[in-house]
Amino acid sequence: MPSDTWQKSSYCGEGEACIQVTGSESIHLTETSDPTESILTAAPATFRTLLHTLKHKEPLRG
């Protein structure tokens, strides 16, 4: 498990299941309500593409 500090999504309300992220060399994501405490790890470029796709609802081209 990453030793960095987890940052909760700014879109998360109090008491809700939320996405948390940490890392710089590799990005680690988890969900606060996941009882298995699973962690998804991605390269920074892959994480940027994921965020772009979620925000714009279309894949990054190029």
Assigned domain for 1 exists: no
More confident residue, 62 or 15: 15
Assigned domain for 23 exists: yes
Residue 2 has pLDDT above 70, yes or no: no
How many independent structural domains does the chain possess?
1
Assigned domain for 34 exists: yes
- Enclosing domain of residue 41: 7-55
How confident is the model at residue 45, as a pLDDT? 93
How confident is the model at residue 1, as a pLDDT? 47
Residue 16 has pLDDT above 80, yes or no: no
Assigned domain for 61 exists: no
Q: Which string of DSSP letters, residue by residue, matches 7-40? A: EE-TTPPTTS--EEEE-SSSEEEEETT-TT---E
Question: pLDDT per residue over 20-62, tens digit each?
Answer: 999 989 999 999 888 898 999 999 999 998 888 888 876 667 6
Assigned domain for 46 exists: yes
Assigned domain for 2 exists: no
Assigned domain for 60 exists: no
